[in-house]
Structure 1
Amino acid sequence: MKTKVGLWIDHRKATVVAITEKGEEIKEIISEVEKQPRRSGDSPLKGTYESRQIPADNTRQRTFTGELNIYYDRVIAYIRDAESILIFGPGEAKDELKERLERNNLSGRVVGIETVDKMTDSQIAAKIRQHFAE
């Protein structure tokens, strides 16, 4: 049996469950990414909001993107040898990871991408076992 991997991912952490001949292994990869940069200024609900009034903060965005790239590289390094990869999570991170896998010529191993809310490690492991049992 080859390694089958499922992972729940968002911008803060990835919970990876690897199913091999030896059994099941759960690994948590924590990102060093700080919160998504927000623009400061008037709230659109409190008054006029002109995006041109607020200068873009490219430095914060570049830092955020750089930290995300490091995080995704760590996840990819861990799942690189998997035969099948199931990706799920609540936000954009799953799609961003899929794009990174495509750039690393690993997209053919992705067997599914699903949108799900927060889950416990037990729920994640059960979902992955169920998916690969089918």
Structure 2
Amino acid sequence: MDRNLGLWIDHKQAYLIWYDRRKVEVIPSNLEPRTHFSGGTRIGGRYNQRVDSELRYNDRYKNQLSKYYQQVISTIQNADSIFIMGPGEAKLELEKAIKRYKDLARKLLKVETADKMTKNQMVAYVRDFFSKKSTE
């Protein structure tokens, strides 16, 4: 049996919709909310080096994002074909992370922009996508 997977993702959470099981799994990102700093802070040291707290925060955010994508990738390893959708940049960032794994990159069928959806809308969209793929 084919293990077709539809994946709706943004920076808050990922919804994994398994076509054959009609099951939806949710993976929360647990990212700290992004904040904008109006000005950096100086942290003085022995030689009074300038360390910008915003840069440290952005590095921490990137690391958390990387862990989130790795968690999603480890969950989708056993899929036969993958369809990714989502409203923001997360879908493209995940696609980039997936392409580092050649065996997983071959399973990637399409990456598509999609608005915010309810779970039922996601399931219907994935069902429609894979039913069209099976008739081609």
TM-score by length of 1: 0.83
Higher gyration radius (CA): 2
For 1:94 and 1:40, the matched residues in 2 are separated by 29
Determine which of 97, 111, 127 is the counterpart of 2:125.
Answer: 127
- 1:57 positional shift: 1.7
TM-superposition CA deviations, 1:105-126 (whole Å, max 9, x none): 2222111111111100100010
Verify the 8 A CA contact 1:37 1:61 in the aligned structure 2: no
Which residue of the partner structure matches residue 19 of structure 1? 19
Determine which of 63, 79, 87 is the counterpart of 1:90.
Answer: 87
Q: Does 1:80 align with 2:77?
A: yes
Amino acid paired to 2:54: D
For 1:35 and 1:129, the matched residues in 2 are separated by 33
Which residue of the partner structure matches residue 101 of structure 1? 98
- 1:102 positional shift: 0.5
- 1:39 positional shift: 3.4
For 1:9 and 1:17, the matched residues in 2 are separated by 11
- 1:29 positional shift: 0.4
Which residue of the partner structure matches residue 27 of structure 2? 29
For 1:92 and 1:56, the matched residues in 2 are separated by 24
For 1:24 and 1:112, the matched residues in 2 are separated by 20
Verify the 8 A CA contact 1:8 1:16 in the aligned structure 2: yes
Q: Percent identity?
A: 36
Q: Say how many residue pairs are matched.
A: 119
TM-score by length of 2: 0.82
Verify the 8 A CA contact 1:14 1:29 in the aligned structure 2: yes
Q: For the aligned residues, what is the CA RMSD?
A: 1.4
For 1:39 and 1:99, the matched residues in 2 are separated by 28
- Unmatched 5+ stretches in structure 2: 40-51
Which residue of the partner structure matches residue 49 of structure 2? none
Which residue of the partner structure matches residue 68 of structure 2? 71
- Unmatched 5+ stretches in structure 1: 42-54
List 4+ stretches of structure 1 deviating above 3 A: none
